[in-house]
Chains A and B, each alone.
Chain A
Amino acid sequence: MNGIAGRMPKFLRRADPAVVTAFACILLLLFLGSLYSRSFLSPEYLLQQLKVASFLGVIATGMMLVILLGQIDLSVPWSVATGAMMASAAAAYGPVGVALAIPFGILCGVAIGIVNGIGVAYLRIPSMIITLATNAVAQGLMVVYTGGFSPQDSATPAMRYLATGFAIPAVPNAVIIWALIGAAMVFALTRTGFGRAVYGIGNRERAAYLSGIDTRRVVMVAFAVSGGLSAFGGVLLAGYASKAAQSMGDAYLLPSIAAVVLGGTSILGGRGSYLGTVAGVILITLLQSILSVMQMPEAGRQIIYGTVIVAMLLLYGRAPASRG
């Protein structure tokens, strides 16, 4: 082990093994895909995948923050849908509505997150329960709003531009947005007091509290950010598909958790890097894409998808054995 590590470049030696494994799995997937079809290695395909990955990336960013605290956010599906529907709905209210559509959609997600945060931080409800509950409530509210049919409003031009446009030639805007949000998260996690507090709480909430950290506020902010980013993901998805849909968020709950955990973030909190989440998001997106390109029937896709996640978690997701 030491021999190999000694010959690796410095940045690799310092890297978390889980992150390295995730990137290695990405390369392996691409290699296997290229055996099936050369087009898997074409720049167009890769860029397209990166664009699809951006939506999951934005959502997983918020999920990572919550998981680092040792909590979980199960309200992702309807936070995504609420963001998308509310942004589209705002667009129906004249020019002002169109202008405020995106912030309004995000704000609705933040509101869901704040309810989650109050529940977890102040009322001490386990996050698994409260976020499931808010998810159900959000779902109910949206069903009431749409009357149970798919919503009639459509996305604003700004939403479409963010999701599908090109501000820089050849680089989809969605990818740029993910990069900006990712950079902001890396900065927040590594360079700010908030980030340190998040890791501290995830490792040992009691010690963080006794160190004078306002742990409840940190937890609350983290859930609000997660809700906001989920909704923003929904706004982008609505822009991508030109309109919101009832169950558009359902496909993002497991992938967002899996992406974070596959990227080496401990599900118990306190440990993990954003680079790992990036790797996890790309890995999952590629896996989904390759399975669908291979025209695997849906049932088979689900089975392989789940099996691969379990296999990879077994590979490195467990804490190293304590016996030396």
Chain B
Amino acid sequence: MDGAVPLFRMEGISKRYGGVRALEKAELSVTAGSIHAILGENGAGKSTLIKVMAGVVAPDEGRMTLDGSEVSFASPAAANQAGIVCIFQELSLIPELSVADNIVISDPPKRFGLIDRKAQRRIAEEALARAGAADIHPLALVKDLPLSRRQMVEIAKALARKPRILILDEATSALTATDVAKIFGVLRRLREEGLALLYISHRMNEIAELADQCTVFRNGRNVASYAAGSKSDSEVVELMIGREYSHIFPPKPPRHAAAVPVLEARKLSWTDRLDNVSLTVGAGEVVGLGGLDGQGQRELLLAFFGVLRGLTGEILVDGKAVAIASPSAARDDRIGMALIPEDRKTEGLMLPMTVRENLSFAALDRVSKAGVIDRAVEQRLIDDMVELLAIKTAGLDIPVGALSGGNQQKVVIAKWLMRQPRIVLLNDPTRGIDVGTKQELYQLMRKLADAGAAILFYSTDYDELIGCCDRVLVLYDGAVKRELVGAEITEHALIASALNIHGEAAGPMHGEGA
């Protein structure tokens, strides 16, 4: 620490939710002009820690000091006042308002009691420029921006509040490699300006590239602090999960000559988002969807699942053309399809409902006779799933929203596995979940494939595509631009084809997004 006086200190912070200890005597000190990374599995207490810092929750005990004097925050506004601004994992923008409206939303400039639109626009432009996103028009509506652009707006919004400590909680999880690189540039500049940055991410390579200081959390405590770069990746992961960390990706089986195609698409098109997509997924195959974010991957999965109206082209299952008009048709036994949706909180789960109700929700027809639920059958299937996926929960009758992110995701997957699907579509299933759970999901995916399932897997994480997939289809502007098979799947090839440039010409791209 070079004897630098910490700008902000937390000592002995504890927080309990009901019987669950989220934080237990946690310590943290933050120095001005540095980037401090916080690592830990989901449920390790990182989110609670920063919520305490940002005034969102009040700690049960412990003290916080800012500039050496003790502080406590009654609300997020009080924390903002003190110069602590947080960018949360969940986006907090209002889609119907413009970018400028969103940036100044908590404290708009006023003239005669009315919002001064000129000043507002100026502030927004400055903030966007400072966030390295000057290309976003301040008067554009947030709902018209893709997810990655919204994230940039989110950062600009935080900067407009003139923070001394800026907290980024998984702020890059929705971003593509180019955007991440841009943001890193911004963050480094902010560090030069003397800001203290707290950076939370599950992407190890990002942390290695960016952080000065790292603190690892496990079970609500800080277990280790070290200067960035002084520990190897596997040492860090061992600290995080508290056990030996071996091969994160399961071995791929040797490829058979030609797998029997289970799912096939012929010239699928939908508005301007999908453009003549043709593909096959064979039994026992894990096929990845790559490319930059928002190139039609999500729409493609939704198209298979019967959600999109006005789709043209053909979908074949087991070689026979099928009409899939709705998710209930897609999950029907004759097709046996499952979709693990993108956002588990709004699309995968009913958060206030119990773990039990969520687990059996997609298989209600399987567990009932004449519409009446057979509780014994339901219980048996649920027990099987909880065991198979090692779902950690304090009981089946607590709200699923009380589980950690990784366990919530397991519930989403379990509720579909209960139907024993033959075709599994996964939409970025590891977003925002911890290393330990990710590893379990990779193994599960391979296990399903080995049992004969056809798996179509979209991920924004290139490492995952490389580690998990037998083949990867790279989408660009709604069309399949390239198919990579086996050893061809490399980071270099993925990035090059994602940008729709030829692999040979992509030399200077090396290291980008790594």
Q: Which residues of A contact B (CB under 8 A)?
A: 191-194, 196-197, 199-200, 203-204, 206-214, 270-271, 323-324
Contact = CB atoms under 8 A, between A and B. Distances in A.
Contacts of A206: 346-347
B361 A200 contact: yes
Contact of A270 (B17, B307, B352): B352
Given A196-B361, A211-B361, 18 more contacts: A192-B372, A194-B371, A196-B360, A196-B364, A196-B373, A204-B347, A207-B348, A207-B349, A209-B326, A210-B341, A210-B347, A212-B362, A213-B327, A270-B350, A270-B352, A271-B352, A323-B56, A324-B57
B438 interface: no
Interface string B105-135: 0000000000000000000000000000000
A206 B307 CA distance: 11
Contacts of B164: none
Contacts of B17: 324
A204 B368 contact: no
Nearest to A187: B372
A244 to B, nearest CB: 34
Interface in B327-375: 327-328, 330-331, 339, 341, 346-353, 357, 360-362, 364-365, 368, 371-373, 375
B150 interface: no
Nearest to A206: B347
Given A191-B372, A191-B373, A324-B58, A209 B350 contact: no
B415 interface: yes
Contacts of A270: 350, 352-353
A192 B373 contact: yes
B327 A212 contact: yes
Given A212-B328, A324-B17, A193 B346 contact: no
A192 B305 CA distance: 26
User: 8 closest pairs, A vs B, by CB?
Assistant: A203-B350, A193-B364, A212-B331, A211-B362, A212-B328, A212-B327, A204-B350, A193-B368
A200 to B, nearest CB: 5
B371 A199 contact: no
A159 B375 CA distance: 38
Given A192-B368, A211-B362, A324-B57, A199 B350 contact: yes
B210 to A, nearest CB: 32
B46 interface: no
Given A210-B327, A211-B361, A323-B58, A204 B349 contact: yes
A203 B57 contact: no
Contacts of B15: 324
A199 B327 contact: no
21 contacts: A191-B373, A192-B368, A199-B350, A199-B357, A203-B353, A204-B346, A204-B350, A206-B347, A207-B341, A207-B349, A208-B350, A209-B326, A210-B307, A210-B339, A210-B347, A211-B327, A211-B361, A212-B362, A270-B350, A270-B353, A324-B15
B372 A203 contact: no
A214 B325 CA distance: 11
Contacts of A191: 372-373, 375
Contacts of A200: 350, 353, 357, 361
B365 A193 contact: yes
Interface string B232-248: 00000000000000000
Given A197-B364, A213-B328, A324-B57, A203 B373 contact: no
Contacts of A211: 327, 361-362, 415
Nearest to A270: B352
Contacts of B365: 193
Indicate the size class of the contact surface on chain B.
20 to 34
A212 B373 contact: no
Contact of A207 (B328, B346, B360, B371): B346
Contacts, number: 82
Interface in B304-338: 305, 307, 326-328, 330-331
Contact of A210 (B348, B352, B373, B375): B348
B364 A209 contact: no
B346 A196 contact: no
B364 A203 contact: no
A187 to B, nearest CB: 8
A58 to B, nearest CB: 22
A211 B346 CA distance: 12
A194 B371 CA distance: 7
Nearest to A193: B364
Contacts of B353: 199-200, 203, 270
Contacts of B327: 209-213
A196 B357 contact: yes
Contacts of B57: 323-324
A184 to B, nearest CB: 12
Nearest to B60: A324
B351 A204 contact: yes
A317 B161 CA distance: 35
A209 B329 CA distance: 11
Nearest to B302: A210
B302 to A, nearest CB: 9
A193 B350 CA distance: 15
B371 A208 contact: no
Contacts of B331: 212
Given A212-B327, A214-B326, A192 B371 contact: yes
A199 B350 CA distance: 9
Interface string B382-401: 00000000000000000000
Contacts of A207: 341, 346-350
A79 B446 CA distance: 56
A83 B361 CA distance: 36
Contacts of B341: 207, 210
Nearest to B306: A212
Contacts of A323: 56-58
A197 B17 CA distance: 29
A211 B15 CA distance: 35
A6 B58 CA distance: 25
B361 A208 contact: yes
Nearest to A324: B57
Contacts of A193: 364-365, 368, 371-373
Nearest to B330: A212
Contacts of B346: 204, 206-207
A191 B374 CA distance: 8
Contacts of A271: 352
B214 to A, nearest CB: 28
A222 to B, nearest CB: 14
Greatest chain B CB density within 10 A among A204, A209, A212 is at A212
A271 B399 CA distance: 12
A124 to B, nearest CB: 13
Contact of A214 (B328, B350, B357, B415): B328
Contacts of B415: 211
Greatest chain B CB density within 10 A among A191, A206, A210, A213 is at A210
A147 B68 CA distance: 83
Greatest chain A CB density within 10 A among B57, B331, B362, B364 is at B364
A81 to B, nearest CB: 32
Nearest to B340: A210
A315 B438 CA distance: 44
Interface string B74-85: 000000000000
